[in-house]
Amino acid sequence: MILRHLTHRRFLPAIVARGGLSVKDTGGDYLQFEFEPPSDRLFKTIHDTRSSNELPWDETDTVALDFDFVKMQAADIEVLEQVKDATWTVEPESNVGPSRFVKSFLSLGYLTEESREQLSEYY
């Protein structure tokens, strides 16, 4: 089981330097993940909703970081289905997984092996 976090490649140096995902890059109190993505639909389309003048974002800028949910549960990391002021409605036919949230920070130590290898290609 995985939790997928999508980010812009521009944030990778800070993520690697700090050793994990931080809300310092997201501007909120929680990190947001897609739980058990049934497809790559969100990965392939997130740039359409996140691109701005301050941060141009096209499909080549998106990086998926997959975290091992079972390993996180074993470490008692609290993963929330819902948080205040965050809504994520998923239509069954959308081919997008439900959202999950982690407060503040998540170590790269919980990355899946595949994501760890992908990240090592960048750094």
Sheet containing 2-8: which strands, arranged edge to edge?
Answer: 62-68, 2-8, 30-35, 99-103
Segment 44-75, tens digit of pLDDT: 666 555 656 666 677 788 889 999 999 999 99
| Residue 20 reports pLDDT greater than 80 | yes
Could you please state the CATH topology (level 3) that the domain comprising 2-122 is classified under.
ADP-ribosylation fold (3.20.170)
- Please provide the DSSP assignment of 58-119 as one string: -GGGEEEEEEEHHHHHHTT---BS--TT------GGG--PPEEEEESEEEGGGB-HHHHHHH
Beta bridge partners of 8: 62
Domain ranges of the chain: 2-122
Indicate the pTM of the whole model: 0.82
Per-residue model confidence as pLDDT tens digits over 72-101: 999 999 999 988 766 555 555 666 778 899
Burial class (CB in 10 A: 0-12, 13-18, 19+), 88: middle
Mean pLDDT of the chain: 84
